[in-house]
Structure 1
Amino acid sequence: MKLIICLLMLFITTASSQEWGFPVMPVADIQPGMTGTGRTVFYGDEIEEFGVQVIDVMRNFYPKLDVILVRLSGATAEKAGIVSGMSGSPVYIDGKLVGALAYSFGQFMKEPIGGIMPIESMLQIEEQEKVRGRVRHSPQSQAFLEAVLAGADEAFWKNILNQPVARPSTANLTTITSPLVFSGFQPEVVGLYESYFTSQGFSPVLAGGARSAEDAEVLLRPGSAVSVVFLTGDLSIEATGTVTAVKDDKILAFGHQLFNFGPISLPMAGAKIYATLPSMMESSKMASAMDVVGTFLQDRLAGAFGDLSIQPSLIPVHLETESPFQTKTEFHFKVANDPAFNNLLPFYMRTALIQAAYTARLAGEQNTSHLTGAIHLSDGRSIQLDDLFTSRQTFGFLASGADFVSAMDLVTTVLGTVMIHDFNGPDVASIDIKLKTVPGRKYAMIESVWQDKTTVKPGEGVTLAIEVRDSEEKVRKITRVFQIPANVAAGRVTILVSSGSALSKYEVQVSRNKFVPQDFDHLLKIVSERRKTQNLYIQVRALDDGLIVNGQELNDVPPSVMNVMNTRSSGGVMSRQRDRVLYEEAVPMNDVITGAKQLSLSIESPPKASTPRDDGQRAWYRYR
């Protein structure tokens, strides 16, 4: 049986290599001591050669997958070692393609020893593309939605980024890191989130992104630098590697996985190498992507497969910033639209939006930002954004809690929500947002709440007196009257006076099924009706049985229905809840509302009526 499998693999490899039009050397023919050459770009777009000597073959390094252990030679290899960005560099012995340089032995190595992914394994990637499955959607859809409702923080983003990422390593032999090139970014912005990107196997690098006329046409050949593009435009982020093989419009590259997500659809671009930077810790190529020329379609353990004839889907983003410190500044860029990467791409876009907003600031200044705009969908609908954010004194200028960071958290969590779902919904067509910043903190803290009575009867009114203190220490008094419904059962009623995020966070905990969408329209409704930061909310809740059906809260449910619910576990589109909302009001304010207060009321039992007495004129009820 083992012989049959080996013969089958040999047949597939031979057929694939003939289709690609180049001779290959199978792993079975590799012997220790063999020498050959590798190809890569160390500067500009000129492909250079380096020497390779086989040390041995590491059998079954991964299940049914071997790795060839080699030592590099040559001036640059001896000086810089195995360089970040060399992933995919083709290696030849006796004129035959052996595979792609893909592994290194980590940092501070005295000799340039690495591993080659055999071309036999890489050729199988195209076979997987021929039977391409459905692109897998990212997880975390509900997490994004709850962040839209209750707010996101750094812990949220760490959770999102850690979910899909798994970079395999054995002992000290690991995949060569790929330079993640940031163009148009400042060091402090990239540095703040560096650990997020390095955890994904990337090495963040700052570089320019300007394209000159002579750089416009890039011919991809074995050994050429190539980039996977996440964002492109005024702000760009791309991962750089090396082309292993080319046949017509088909390309093999990297020699190892980026994320091992299988079927993907990410933009492909040629790249220019500005310099190769030797380092005892980790040498790296300083690169910049050129224009998008095709699409990467497969991300597998053995490398990436792309097609130059297929153009990727990109979402145009327009951001305008305005502040007293700087005139209006506009940023235009495009973000990759790939369902497999949708939980990562919002974070990449978040980094770009934070950088754009950061350019309009004075360091250390406390500010308030007004976010407006829309996320436009391909069916013509839009999600409108109109929220106010202010800096929190307890947080750093660029950290979570800064006004513009919170604003961009809202944009990108809404984006993640409408991109990641299990429904048949429209695509995101474009994003258009504006951030207007003014100096100073505009907030109002809920300081105290009074009620005019602690016990009420059904149908009676209750008066609330609310005091909020703003950032200038001015106290504003708000009075509201609400009526207790006549059909409320005796018991206790809870009054919540709160900011939108605090109230939403509470409701997500106590009425989670209310925020589980049943279809895309329901999802859009939840997002569009999210509570605003600049509103003060008053909500009255009663301990009274109710139902949530398809995300809608139903009151006054007949006892017969509740009895049915009592005899079976809740779930699906219908679930039981222990309390229900009697009243809710949003009070518009001109400040960001913070804080929350809770009060309680006792509901008296309604009086019981006696049999009416007929006095000949009308019926009278005597209450006892």
Structure 2
Amino acid sequence: TQGGIAAPQSDDAQVKQGDMVSMVLTQGDLSIQASCTVSAVVGDRVFACGHPLFSFGSVELPMARGRVLTTLSSALASTKIVNAGGTIGTITQDRLTAVMGRLGPAPRMVPMELTIATPAQQKQFRFELIENPKLTPLLVAIAAFNGLVANTAYGEGTTLRLTGGIEIAGHSRVNLENMFAPTDLFIPDGSFVAGTVQNVFTRIFSNPYEAAKIERITLRVESIPERRWASIENAWCEKSEVQPGETVSVKVLLRPYRGAPLIQEVPITIPPQAARGTILRILVSDSEQLNRMTRLFSSAPQGRLAGLEQLITLLNRERRNNRLYVTLLQPTPTLLVEDKELPNAPLSQINVLDQRRNPVGSILLRESTAGEWSVPLNQVISGLASVNIAVK
């Protein structure tokens, strides 16, 4: 069954055998629901379908009155066109033999707002999504994708800037910020935005620490009518030997998409405590290169962190792909423990937190970060380059 929504009526809750009820997945500017015929009504319990919807067992889905518009007959599979009317209760069971709901109040849903901004116009959409660990992350992606692509403000071939956040009861806000340059692949450019939102939401909603109560999802997608993308082709330093505490300039050769190469200068400062005779490595990179180690913790299903708040902290620390990053690395070990980075780790710490004894609690890296600098460039940056300098 499929259809849209209908205005609530005074007799919506007066369902009887043979009527239709709808199981609402999303409502608002995007409507997704499945409808079934009522098999029986016993007190405040409504039995419908005679088959499972998802076979999820105990569930909490809004139950709405279904209004049949027409039936498309087919020897293969007939289809009813059904509008979902007013909400009349909650679907509580999704079992092999039937779907059962109770008349009364509806369950809580997750509010989501999406704003699409282009040079010509701005549109805003509001959705409400069910709370279910298997379905909600997918519905977030569907709502984001359809809200972005299926409207007149959207056009292919533009760079998309995503900002927004996920608000969680009792925890810090998860901030979203990234840019997405169009590609020549035969898939909508908006799918990259939807995939990113789904990935972050899944890591929060399906975390192994506690049930996250999502209060609101707010997204803003700005369309920029250019392909703003640049690759890192080369990098070099004005000096091959430096003094502790000295400031030097790192020059990066960037090649924009179908544009002339340009040189971006990034001043960096050598730490005053840098040991003489040490070879330091300057890593010029995009955000993805620096985010890989963090994701070993935040994406681990067994839970390397102490709780949800530490996961949120790591997600908010992730670098953004519209910035050029310059990282100064020194040849001393670093310990990553939960959401903390311990550079220049002494042997005593390494022995206590050795990853071989506690494989899910820490990660040992062979280099330590002596400094990190970034430059916002308002375009998607990709690639990496490395330069060695000596401290004399």
TM-score, normalised to structure 2, is 0.85
SS at match of 1:517: coil
Q: In the aligned structure 1, how far is the partner of 2:141 from the partner of 2:351?
A: 48
* Mapping for residues 270-349 of structure 1, pairs under 5 Å: 270-325=65-120, 327-337=121-131, 341-349=132-140
Q: In the aligned structure 2, how far is the partner of 1:489 from the partner of 1:566?
A: 29
Query: Are the counterparts in 2 of residues 565 and 576 from structure 1 also a CA contact under 8 Å?
Result: no
Equivalent position of 2:18 in the other structure: 223
Query: Are the counterparts in 2 of residues 570 and 576 from structure 1 also a CA contact under 8 Å?
Result: no
Q: Which amino acid aligns with 1:208?
A: G
Q: Which amino acid aligns with 2:167?
A: H
Q: In the aligned structure 1, how far is the partner of 2:233 from the partner of 2:112?
A: 40
User: What are the ranges of 5 or more consecutive residues in structure 2 without an aligned counterpart?
Assistant: none
Selected match of 2:185 from 386, 389, 395: 395
Let me know the Cα RMSD of the aligned residues.
3.3
Query: Are the counterparts in 2 of residues 390 and 442 from structure 1 also a CA contact under 8 Å?
Result: yes
Larger RCO of the pair (alpha carbons < 8 Å, separation 6+):
2
Q: In the aligned structure 1, how far is the partner of 2:70 from the partner of 2:260?
A: 58
* Mapping for residues 161-310 of structure 1, pairs under 5 Å: 179=1, 181=2, 207-209=3-5, 211-212=6-7, 214=9, 217-310=12-105
Q: Which amino acid aligns with 2:22?
A: S
Equivalent position of 1:523 in the other structure: 311
SS at match of 2:138: helix
1:415 corresponds to 2:205: no
Query: Are the counterparts in 1 of residues 12 and 88 from structure 2 also a CA contact under 8 Å?
Result: no
Q: Which amino acid aligns with 2:234?
A: S
C-alpha spacing 1:482/1:445, structure 2 compared with 1 (3 Å): same
SS at match of 2:185: coil
C-alpha spacing 1:566/1:349, structure 2 compared with 1 (3 Å): closer
CA deviation after TM superposition for structure 1 residue 232, in Å: 0.7
Identity %: 26
* Mapping for residues 448-463 of structure 1, pairs under 5 Å: 448-452=234-238, 463=249
Selected match of 2:250 from 464, 482, 485: 464
User: What are the ranges of 5 or more consecutive residues in structure 1 without an aligned counterpart?
Assistant: 1-178, 182-206, 607-624
C-alpha spacing 1:585/1:361, structure 2 compared with 1 (3 Å): farther
Query: Are the counterparts in 2 of residues 485 and 582 from structure 1 also a CA contact under 8 Å?
Result: no
Query: Are the counterparts in 1 of residues 156 and 182 from structure 2 also a CA contact under 8 Å?
Result: no
Selected match of 2:286 from 499, 509, 513: 499
SS at match of 1:522: helix
CA deviation after TM superposition for structure 1 residue 549, in Å: 2.1
SS at match of 1:440: coil
SS at match of 1:473: coil
Equivalent position of 2:334 in the other structure: 546
Q: In the aligned structure 2, how far is the partner of 1:538 from the partner of 1:425?
A: 37
How big is each residue's C-alpha offset from its partner over 1:322-367, in whole Å with a ceiling of 9 and x where there is no partner?
Answer: 3245x32222221112xxx324222223222222212445786411
Query: Are the counterparts in 2 of residues 455 and 601 from structure 1 also a CA contact under 8 Å?
Result: no
C-alpha spacing 1:452/1:380, structure 2 compared with 1 (3 Å): closer
CA deviation after TM superposition for structure 1 residue 460, in Å: 6.8
Q: In the aligned structure 2, how far is the partner of 1:299 from the partner of 1:365?
A: 40
Query: Are the counterparts in 1 of residues 329 and 367 from structure 2 also a CA contact under 8 Å?
Result: yes
Q: Which amino acid aligns with 1:499?
A: D
CA deviation after TM superposition for structure 1 residue 381, in Å: 4.3
Q: Which has the higher helix share?
A: 1
Equivalent position of 1:533 in the other structure: 321
Selected match of 2:175 from 384, 387, 407: 384
C-alpha spacing 1:283/1:342, structure 2 compared with 1 (3 Å): same
Query: Are the counterparts in 2 of residues 536 and 586 from structure 1 also a CA contact under 8 Å?
Result: yes
Equivalent position of 1:427 in the other structure: 213
How big is each residue's C-alpha offset from its partner over 1:403-459, in whole Å with a ceiling of 9 and x where there is no partner?
Answer: x33223333333223222233465111223222223222222222212345677877
Equivalent position of 1:14 in the other structure: none
Query: Are the counterparts in 2 of residues 364 and 397 from structure 1 also a CA contact under 8 Å?
Result: no
Q: Which has the larger radius of gyration?
A: 1
1:584 corresponds to 2:378: no
Selected match of 2:231 from 445, 469, 479: 445
CA deviation after TM superposition for structure 1 residue 518, in Å: 2.0
CA deviation after TM superposition for structure 1 residue 472, in Å: 5.7
SS at match of 2:71: strand
C-alpha spacing 1:316/1:391, structure 2 compared with 1 (3 Å): same
Equivalent position of 1:138 in the other structure: none
**Bigger shift: 456-465 or 556-565?**
456-465
Q: In the aligned structure 1, how far is the partner of 2:275 from the partner of 2:79?
A: 69
How big is each residue's C-alpha offset from its partner over 1:529-574, in whole Å with a ceiling of 9 and x where there is no partner?
Answer: 2211211112234443332222311123232333445595233434
Query: Are the counterparts in 2 of residues 553 and 580 from structure 1 also a CA contact under 8 Å?
Result: no
